[in-house]
Structure 1
Amino acid sequence: MTAEAGMGSEMRLREHGLRPTRQRIALADLLFAKGDRHLTVEELHEEAVAAGVPVSLATVYNTLHQFTEAGLIRVLAVESAKTYFDTNVSDHHHFFVEGQNEVLDIPVSNISISNLPPPPEGMEIAHVDVVIRLRRKGD
């Protein structure tokens, strides 16, 4: 991690109301260094260990949930056994490749959603997530 990358993550954390601790900065650097992507807690933990970042799996889990609450990332519920975290917080949808645990973005302009039910009184629709599950032909 370069000092410049750390400064960018530090500013990003501060802008979202999070105190930029060493571990948060290191995890943010790893998370956002490769552009938009989808990661599980375990995958980010493996990347952190490989990069020499001394962090526990529990800390990665807690940090990702703090990042979610701050609006830095969003949670994708595409499979009941795993939670994926998406660094792209813009409106978009997803393909999920079954058996490969791969998540791919679908631009929001490629899907039209209409006839949504009205939300209950006092509520508003915050986001609509579309997950299209794929499998290889013949599987």
Structure 2
Amino acid sequence: MLKTPDHEQIVERLQAHGIYPTRQRIEVAQIMLSQDQHLSADQVMQQVNRGATSVSKATIYNTLGLFASKGLLREVIVDPSRAFYDSNTCHHHHFFNVDSGTLSDIQPDQLLLGELPALPEGTEVDGVDIIVRIRNRHNPSA
């Protein structure tokens, strides 16, 4: 588990990614960077708003989007209506449990990917994200 960064470390990390450290951005970063985790924008908003301050949903979405665009977080889109923000920006893939709605890491050495298909002319690979959708096995005898 990661050591929870203090206020100064959060500010330095934001600045290192070219992000101006507003109060709301610092609060979101403190939640997201405290450990490797996958949180939705709604989960982040619930945690931020547990404190003495209140941050709007738009601010949370904008902040998470900014963090993802600057490489501080990874946005993982599991379906057209649902995205998670991953504090682990190292290359890895995910399991998405459709029953529980949880996202978990697949370690890089657990999934081998062969050769990619030929790319359309004038394009280059920006990344490869694999999401393995799983569900809980239902035991009919239970």
Global fold match (TM > 0.5): yes
What is residue 25 of structure 1 aligned with on the other side?
26
Does the CA contact (< 8 Å) of 2:45 and 2:55 recur in 1? yes
Alignment of structure 1 residues 1-139 onto 2, 5 Å: 5-33=6-34, 35-138=35-138
| Structure 1 residue 130, shift from structure 2 partner | 0.9
Does the CA contact (< 8 Å) of 1:26 and 1:53 recur in 2? no
Question: Aligned to 1:118, what secondary structure does the other structure show?
Answer: coil
When the two chains are superposed, the root-mean-square deviation of aligned CA atoms in Å is 1.4
Does the CA contact (< 8 Å) of 2:74 and 2:87 recur in 1? yes
Query: What is the TM-score when the length of structure 1 is the normalising length?
Result: 0.91
Does the CA contact (< 8 Å) of 1:36 and 1:88 recur in 2? yes
Distance 1:103 1:87 in 2: 12
Distance 2:52 2:7 in 1: 15
Question: Aligned to 1:30, what secondary structure does the other structure show?
Answer: helix
Query: What is the TM-score when the length of structure 2 is the normalising length?
Result: 0.89
Structure 1 unaligned spans of 5+: none
Aligned-residue sequence identity (percent) comes to 34
Between the two proteins, the alignment pairs up a number of residues equal to 135
Deviations 1:74-125 (A, max 9, x none): 1111123211111111100000111211000001111111131122233221
Distance 2:52 2:120 in 1: 48
